[in-house]
A and B are shown apart, each in its own frame.
Chain A
């Protein structure tokens, strides 16, 4: 079984996605089944992570006599779909599996009043399949297929509350933007296939010649994954989608967004990192997109009074930190002295921030969902004094807000300090914008806390009670992770983040199995 672990990680949630609709007449059964599948998938992903982190990259060839048989005798190039699972891939896979389980658990109570739950849980599991496939595959066309699966499942989930016009509109917008970006990915895949007759990432990385069509393909891939991860000024779909999607889907949808960021990093490092003459330029593009993304995101958040829309703009803003961290690393990748001095730490900050952000933003969006669950509104102007009625949600919110604002000792601080210091070494202005963004983030969450949880109680909500236990369990689990990742950042960095950074940076290791 262990040798087929990579296939099982995809097959189990896929099986769950196709069997959940059979429980149409038992919505609670569908919810429990989906939760069980998500939990089993999490267990499988953790096993896979243990294997990869202890033994190194795993290659899994679909349809081969032996899963590890990438090149049958006499073959000099790969002809089958191959999963190439390195530390960066499992880092993302852990995020996907954990957040899908947390989201499904939260949804158990959060959506108990809705219809069509069998479709909802089926789509959540399908979204998980899409994300896991994207981060585990070593084949560019396969990446496109999983990108489409995640995009279609995600847009259906955004429009799940189709009795609301806004949800349907947001779902269609998400679908259209995803489709256009995916088509451009397909177009760039076509350009590469026309030249190299192969779509295996390792094979392409070894043979890519950086001619004009290659660079056009790279530009298309770069901008398409940037739009899918919500980089400014291509971020407009994010607030629409994150606001309207049920809060239980927010955590896996966040990971889906960052799976595109993973794809952006993967093509930038694995596929095109040898292109030393323009790599610094690519790094600067990423860093500048990063600071623009963080600043415009946070300033737009400050003017919102819809609690989920406000948090959605913060999601955009935080993506900027990841782009900045990894962008700084990419800029100095071919300068060994600078890379050792601060480039590797910059990339660690950016990648550590991915998982930190998934945890605290998942938590914050779920607290926003809890506010909506008890008050029936997302308008902060109409809320007040809810801390007395919802003490556990209030505590979870404080932890999430402190983490996103980069307050010590929560997890956001640990990754942000690495990004501040290293971006300062590249250009002090980058670090200043990053720090100002954190101050504005704190200001924004003070506003949310003061409006929703503090102040005199609003008569309309005098009878509201704390949210049900499954919702609380999901939020408090993430709150505890915010604290643990903040108190023991070295453990996460050494066990998960630095291996992921090295997997990206040592791009020759990715192609090492080819003759």
Chain B
């Protein structure tokens, strides 16, 4: 059985890819298992926040809504329009359907 997927411009063999993945994983594990001689443990490894007490982990974790804050801020003009389109109003759902349907019929009739 041939496991190579031939595409119009090349090929893709997942089994070969997995073989390389395993090879790189083994190499990575060997490097990892040698350890890091510069790694420090004990008092030196603890976070130091200018003498302040470390806040509770639940308070400082990054929440889902904040993860791509920068990306969303950079595209806020785009998102303003996009979110405004999603009104949740059933009447708008039907208007969009009628509008797009009309355009599609005109295109099929050769009018656009």
| Number of A-B residue pairs at CB separation under 8 A | 151
Q: Which residues of chain B have C-beta atoms less than 8 A from A257's C-beta?
A: none
Query: A233-B96, A303-B83, A459-B58 are contacts. A486–B14 as well, Cβ < 8 Å?
Result: yes
Q: Which of A184, A226, A233, A417 contacts B12 (CB 8 A)?
A: A417
A388 at the B interface (CB under 8 A): no
Most chain-A Cβ atoms within 10 A of its Cβ — which of B5, B17, B78, B110? B5
B32 at the A interface (CB under 8 A): no
A180 to B86, CA, bound (A): 19
Q: Which residues of chain A have C-beta atoms less than 8 A from B21's C-beta?
A: 409
A408 at the B interface (CB under 8 A): yes
Range of interface residues on B (Cβ < 8 Å): 35 or more
Chain B: CB-nearest residue to A277: B110
Query: A237-B93, A278-B108, A285-B104 are contacts. A296–B65 as well, Cβ < 8 Å?
Result: no
Q: Which of B61, B68, B85, B88 contacts A456 (CB 8 A)?
A: B61
Annotate A208-230 by CB proximity to B: 1 below 8 A, 0 otherwise: 00001001101110111011000
Q: Which residues of chain A have C-beta atoms less than 8 A from B10's C-beta?
A: 421
Query: A447-B67, A450-B67, A489-B14 are contacts. A300–B86 as well, Cβ < 8 Å?
Result: yes
Annotate B1-44 by CB proximity to A: 1 below 8 A, 0 otherwise: 11111011110101101100100000000000000000000000
A222 to B94, CA, bound (A): 15
Number of interface residues of A (CB under 8 A): 65
Tell me the A274-293 residues at the B interface (CB within 8 Å): 278, 281-282, 285
Annotate A168-200 by CB proximity to B: 1 below 8 A, 0 otherwise: 000011001100110010000000000000000
Chain A: CB-nearest residue to B93: A236
A236 to B89, CA, bound (A): 9
Q: Which residues of chain A have C-beta atoms less than 8 A from B12's C-beta?
A: 408, 413-414, 417, 489
Q: Is the CB of A458 within 8 A of B90?
A: no
A488 to B12, CA, bound (A): 11
22 A-B residue pairs with Cβ-Cβ distance under 8 Å, sorted by A, are A172-B90, A177-B93, A219-B107, A220-B105, A222-B108, A223-B100, A223-B105, A227-B101, A234-B93, A236-B93, A281-B107, A285-B104, A299-B78, A300-B82, A417-B5, A421-B10, A443-B68, A447-B67, A450-B62, A459-B58, A489-B12, A490-B3
Q: Residues of B with Cβ closer than 8 Å to A?
A: 1-5, 7-10, 12, 14-15, 17-18, 21, 57-58, 61-65, 67-68, 71-72, 75, 78-79, 82-83, 85-86, 88, 90, 92-94, 96-97, 100-101, 104-105, 107-110
Q: Residues of A with Cβ closer than 8 Å to B?
A: 172-173, 176-177, 180-181, 184, 212, 215-216, 218-220, 222-224, 226-227, 233-234, 236-237, 240, 278, 281-282, 285, 296, 299-300, 302-303, 305, 341-342, 345, 380-381, 383-384, 408-409, 413-414, 417-418, 421-422, 425, 443, 447-448, 450-451, 455-456, 458-459, 486-491, 493
Further contacts, 13 of them, CB under 8 A, given A227-B97, A233-B96 = A177-B97, A215-B108, A236-B86, A281-B108, A303-B83, A345-B7, A380-B63, A381-B63, A383-B64, A443-B68, A443-B71, A447-B68, A450-B67
